[in-house]
């Protein structure tokens, strides 16, 4: 059997398709997280057997250069020996204690050294928990109830954040998911990303009620979208003026562009930072932290409750320490420059070939949108030609490149990607674009 895709059918995926059939009998949609099911691109997902560095290998033995990188978690690439070593060592000593360990303090030290706005931190097991808890904390601290989030920013699947804006920009939104009640989201206000004017208007009208503004300092869940100049600084000003807690969701951006957060690059400090993905080195680990005065509202010191059986799990924390120790020695500027060059060449090529395509990039992540207009917010991102994206995705897969199976995701370079990978990927993109 061959790849079940409307387009070209080149590589074999017999085993993956059989496994997917069986998985669908037991797992909902055959997966444990929706985007893995390839619904956005059609066809059957690849089942991954193993991975090393920049390469993933599927059950049929196909090898791909990976740009999903566990959705950005693997800044050092797959199965980095130092990280795997730390995991093995930790596992030998016990998998979970439900009691404090030295390693938690060590990881906390490294993180607050790298991100000085984090004076105190709390470890949790997923980015969703981090943002959900940060919002609870902001509400507990300010004694206010409303929050502002931006359209197209993803903060995990916590009910109150599962909201997309309706067409009216300042309207109180509709839930994005069945099971999320109107009551849960009535205190969530959604504003277009990069729209400081609307943000100001809404804050001026509601400032006594707004506990927090939560934002991805570089948006990476509608595809990559950079904050416009002044956007984050203005958010900081607004929050200062009205006593609103500014939450940077750095679950993707933390340790992505520099050994620290996007906040270090932009020189804007939030009150609370959410981290996840990279800090766990591929294990379930996330965190939220910030100003001591706010963090100490958390139980057992303060009255905001939040807990976790596996929070600060010793294996995950040791994987995190190993990851950050290696990352501290890596040349982020070098990597960012490489990817910047990569994207510049791509832009030049696209311009000369008159393909309707926009390259958005930040540091080592990028997205190709199939629209010629600039993409600075979610409405513009949605102008993309999804049919073209689908064709592009499969053309890339057929050239041995595994991109995110959705237009509204970033592609992630890691320190493990080689010049050869970049060259091969560049050629594959040219070929794929020409085939559209």
Ligand X SMILES: *Cc1c(COP(=O)(O)O)cnc(C)c1O
Tokens of 159: 């009910």
- C-beta of 127 vs 314, nearer to ligand X: 127
> Under a CB-based contact definition with an 8 Å cutoff, are residues 139 and 350 in contact?
no
Q: Are strands 163-164 and 174-175 parallel, antiparallel or unpaired?
A: antiparallel
Query: Which one is catalytic: 146, 149, 277, 390?
Result: 277
* Residue number, 251 or 335, with CB nearest to ligand X: 251
Please tell me whether residue 227 binds ligand X under the rule CB under 6 A: no
Which residue in 249, 271, 288, 391 is the catalytic one? 249
* 188-192 and 210-215 strand pairing: unpaired
Q: Which is nearer to ligand X, 68 or 252 (CB)?
A: 252
Phi, psi at residue 371, to the nearest 5°?
-150, 150
Among 156, 192, 290, 312, contact with ligand X (rule: CB under 6 A) = 156
Residues 378-407 as x/- pattern, contact with ligand X by CB under 6 A: ------------------------------
Looking at beta carbons only, is 11 or 67 nearer to ligand X? 67
- Is 216 or 421 the residue whose CB approaches ligand X more closely? 216
Spatial separation of the C-alpha atoms in residues 412 and 67, rounded to whole Å: 5
Residues 80-139 that bind ligand X (CB under 6 A): 126-128, 131
Residue 252 CB, nearest distance to ligand X (Å)?
4
Task: Output the smallest distance, CB 315 to ligand X, in A.
Answer: 16
Question: How many helices (DSSP H) and strands (DSSP E) are in the chain?
Answer: 15, 16
Residue 95's alpha-carbon distances to 101, 168, 233, 313, in angstroms, are 12, 49, 43, 7
Using rule CB under 6 A, residue 286 touches ligand X: yes
What does the alpha-carbon distance between residue 167 and residue 161 come to, in Å, rounded to a whole number? 17
Phi/psi of residue 435, nearest 5 degrees: -80, -10
- Among residues 365, 371, 364, 366, the alpha carbon closest in space to that of 387 is found at 371
Does 155 interact with ligand X (rule: CB under 6 A)? Answer: yes
Site for ligand X in 160-219 (CB under 6 A): 216
Q: Which C-beta is closer to ligand X: that of 58 or that of 216?
A: 216
Which of these is catalytic: 67, 154, 288, 332? 154
Specify the residue, 188 or 399, whose C-beta has the smaller distance to ligand X: 188
Active-site residue flag, 277: yes
Contact call for residues 408 and 193 (beta carbons, < 8 A): no
Give the x-and-dash track for 8-47 against ligand X (CB under 6 A): ----------------------------------------
Candidates 37, 75, 251, 357: give the one binding ligand X (CB under 6 A): 251
221 forms part of the interface with ligand X (CB under 6 A): yes
Residue recorded with tokens 């948006």: 219
Is residue 263 a contact point for ligand X (CB under 6 A)? no
Residue nearest to ligand X (CB): 127
- In the complex, least distance from residue 257 CB atom to ligand X, rounded to whole angstroms: 14
DSSP track, 254-323: TTTSSSS-HHHHHT---SEEEE-GGGGTTSS-EEEEE-HHHHTTBTTTSSB----TTTT-HHHHHHHHHH
Size of the site for ligand X (CB under 6 A): 14
Q: How far is the CB of 107 from ligand X (least distance, A)?
A: 17
Element (H, E) at 213: strand 210-215
Binding of residue 276 to ligand X (CB under 6 A): yes
Q: Are 244 and 211 in contact (CB under 8 A)?
A: yes
Q: Any idea what DSSP says for residue 363?
A: T
Q: If 0-12 CB within 10 Å is exposed, 13-18 middle and 19+ buried, where does residue 386 land? A: middle
With respect to ligand X, which residue has the nearer C-beta, 43 or 280? 280
**154 binds ligand X per the rule CB under 6 A:** yes
Task: Look up residue 13 and give its DSSP letter.
Answer: -
Residue 249 designated active-site: yes
Give the three-class secondary structure for 36: helix
Residues labelled catalytic? 154, 249, 277
Residue ranges that bind ligand X, judged by CB under 6 A: 126-128, 131, 154-156, 216, 221, 249, 251-252, 276, 286
């Amino acid at each position: 059997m061959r790849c079940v895709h409307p387009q070209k059918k080149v590589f074999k995926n017999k085993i993956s398709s059989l496994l997917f059939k069986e998985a669908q009998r037991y797992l909902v949609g055959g997966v444990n997280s929706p985007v893995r099911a390839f619904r956005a691109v059609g066809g059957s997902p690849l089942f991954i057997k193993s991975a090393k560095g920049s390469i993933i290998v599927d059950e049929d033995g196909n090898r791909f250069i990976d740009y999903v990188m566990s959705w950005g978690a693997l800044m050092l690439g797959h199965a980095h020996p130092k990280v795997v070593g730390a995991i093995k060592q930790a596992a030998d000593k016990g998998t979970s204690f439900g009691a404090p360990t030295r390693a938690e303090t060590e990881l906390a030290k490294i993180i607050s050294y790298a991100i000085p706005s984090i004076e105190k931190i709390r470890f949790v097991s997923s980015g969703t928990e981090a943002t959900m808890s940060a919002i609870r904390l902001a509400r507990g601290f300010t004694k206010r109830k409303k929050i502002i989030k931006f359209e197209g920013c993803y903060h995990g699947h916590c009910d109150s954040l599962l909201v997309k804006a309706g067409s009216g920009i300042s309207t109180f939104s509709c839930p994005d998911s069945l099971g999320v009640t109107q009551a849960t989201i009535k205190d969530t206000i959604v504003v277009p990303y990069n729209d400081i004017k609307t943000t100001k208007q809404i804050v001026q009208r509601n400032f006594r009620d707004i506990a927090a503004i939560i934002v991805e300092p570089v948006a990476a869940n509608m595809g990559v979208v950079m904050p416009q100049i002044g956007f984050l600084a203005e958010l900081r000003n607004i929050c200062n003026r009205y006593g609103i807690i500014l939450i940077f969701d750095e679950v993707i951006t933390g340790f992505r562009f520099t050994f620290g957060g996007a906040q270090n690059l932009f020189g804007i400090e939030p009150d609370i930072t959410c981290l996840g993905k990279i800090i766990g080195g591929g294990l379930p680990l996330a965190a939220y932290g910030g100003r001591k005065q706010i963090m100490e509202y958390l139980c057992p010191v303060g009255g905001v409750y939040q807990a976790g059986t596996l929070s600060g799990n010793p294996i995950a924390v040791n994987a995190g320490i190993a990851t950050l120790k290696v990352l501290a020695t890596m040349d982020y500027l070098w990597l960012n420059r490489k990817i910047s060059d990569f994207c510049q060449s791509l832009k030049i090529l696209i311009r000369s070939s008159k393909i309707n395509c926009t390259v958005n990039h930040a540091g080592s992540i990028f997205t190709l949108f199939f629209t010629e207009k600039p993409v600075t917010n979610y409405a513009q991102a949605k102008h993309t030609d999804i049919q073209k994206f689908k064709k592009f995705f499969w053309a890339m897969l057929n050239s041995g490149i595994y991109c995110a199976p959705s237009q509204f995701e970033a592609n992630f370079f890691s320190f493990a990607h080689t010049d050869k990978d970049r060259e091969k990927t560049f050629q594959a993109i040219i070929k794929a674009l020409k085939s559209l």
